[in-house]
């Protein structure tokens, strides 16, 4: 019994040690980032609905005006913090000096398609995006002419939807392994602004294979958008973190109304 008690105590202390090490490690990551950026979780009320977002303001741009803005849309059953952890976009924002806003979907999701019986399903999210464009430009120095949109998986599908609905706000869009939600492909897209778009997908993606992502590329190309389509060799499903610098190279300098 004494040996069993000692073993149980050791296991408990070992578990506490592991938890302690993890906490210190995660705390260290936050400590390393926070001196270089202010990271806050905030809410905004839009049409009677409270929406959540995560804002990253690099210290190098705090208080400045006309700073580029990147909005990021997470995948299904995901959170803004989880997206930050697996994409590495916080570090990219700090290095490249742009404001980064992760939008939280309703119930951890974005509409995967628009059902005919509920054609306004995406409207609350479009209103959320427009309200956040106004907030980040008026309160945090964001540049209205350099608002960029990024989405991954279900968030990539939502990026297609938001670009179709709010193109007048968007200077460029990056769709990571996102499909074209129905019924966007059923009729020509009447987008007000023909913003450039980059579509990314892994060659080994079985959840959203390249041909599904290509449908979105084709639809926006038919609507007059300049599009790029990249298949990442050997990559599966998710955000291709190794492509972050190339993603920023695509976005950087693009402005509403064209030009760089």
- Work out the angle at residue 228's Cα, subtended by the Cα atoms of residues 169 and 253, and round it to the nearest 5 degrees: 50
pLDDT value at residue 26: 46
DSSP 65: S
Q: Find the mean pLDDT for residues 35-61.
A: 98
- Is the distance from CB of 135 to CB of 52 less than 8 angstroms? no
Model confidence band, residue 25 (pLDDT cutoffs 50, 70, 90)? very low
Give the side-chain half-sphere CA count within 13 A for 228. Answer: 15
pTM, rounded to two decimals = 0.87
- Phi and psi of 62, rounded to 5°? -60, 130
* Strand locations in the chain (E): 37-46, 49-58, 67-73, 99-103, 142-152, 172-176, 197-202, 227-232
Model confidence band, residue 34 (pLDDT cutoffs 50, 70, 90)? low
pLDDT value at residue 251: 99
- pLDDT higher at 17 or 97: 97
Quote the CA–CA distance of 138 and 127 in Å, as a whole number.
Answer: 17
Q: Find the mean pLDDT for residues 8-17.
A: 41
3-state helix, strand, coil in the chain (%, to 5): 45, 25, 30
Q: Find the mean pLDDT for residues 125-134.
A: 99
pLDDT value at residue 32: 52
- Is the distance from CB of 49 to CB of 125 less than 8 angstroms? no
Question: Mind listing the pLDDT tens digit for each residue in 75-115?
Answer: 999 999 999 999 999 999 999 999 999 999 999 999 999 99
- Is the distance from CB of 164 to CB of 191 less than 8 angstroms? yes
Topology of domain 38-251, CATH: Rossmann fold (3.40.50)
pLDDT value at residue 259: 63
Per domain, the residue ranges of the chain are 38-251
């Amino acid at each position: 019994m004494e040996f069993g008690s000692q073993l149980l105590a050791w296991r408990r202390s070992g578990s506490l040690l592991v938890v302690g090490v993890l906490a210190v490690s995660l705390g260290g990551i936050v400590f390393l980032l926070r001196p270089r950026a202010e990271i806050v979780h905030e809410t905004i009320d839009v049409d009677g609905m409270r929406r959540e977002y995560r804002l990253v303001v690099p210290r190098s741009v705090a208080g400045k005006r006309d700073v580029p803005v990147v909005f990021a849309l997470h995948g299904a059953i995901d959170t803004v913090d989880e997206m930050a952890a697996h994409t590495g976009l916080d570090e990219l924002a700090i290095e490249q000096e742009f404001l980064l806003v992760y939008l939280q979907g309703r119930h951890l999701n974005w509409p995967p398609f628009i059902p005919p019986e509920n054609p306004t399903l995406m409207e609350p999210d479009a209103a959320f995006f427009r309200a956040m464009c106004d907030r980040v430009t008026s309160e945090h120095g964001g540049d209205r002419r350099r608002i960029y949109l990024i989405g991954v998986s279900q968030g990539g599908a939502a990026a297609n939807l938001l670009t179709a609905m709010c193109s007048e706000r968007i200077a460029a869009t990056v769709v990571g392994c996102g499909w074209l939600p129905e019924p966007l492909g059923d009729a020509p897209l009447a987008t007000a602004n023909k913003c450039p778009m980059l579509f990314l997908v892994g060659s080994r993606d079985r959840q959203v294979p390249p041909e599904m992502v290509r449908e979105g590329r084709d639809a926006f190309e038919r609507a007059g958008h300049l599009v790029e389509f990249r298949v990442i060799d050997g990559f599966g499903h998710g955000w291709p973190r190794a492509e972050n610098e190339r993603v920023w190279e695509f976005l950087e300098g693009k402005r509403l109304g064209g030009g760089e």
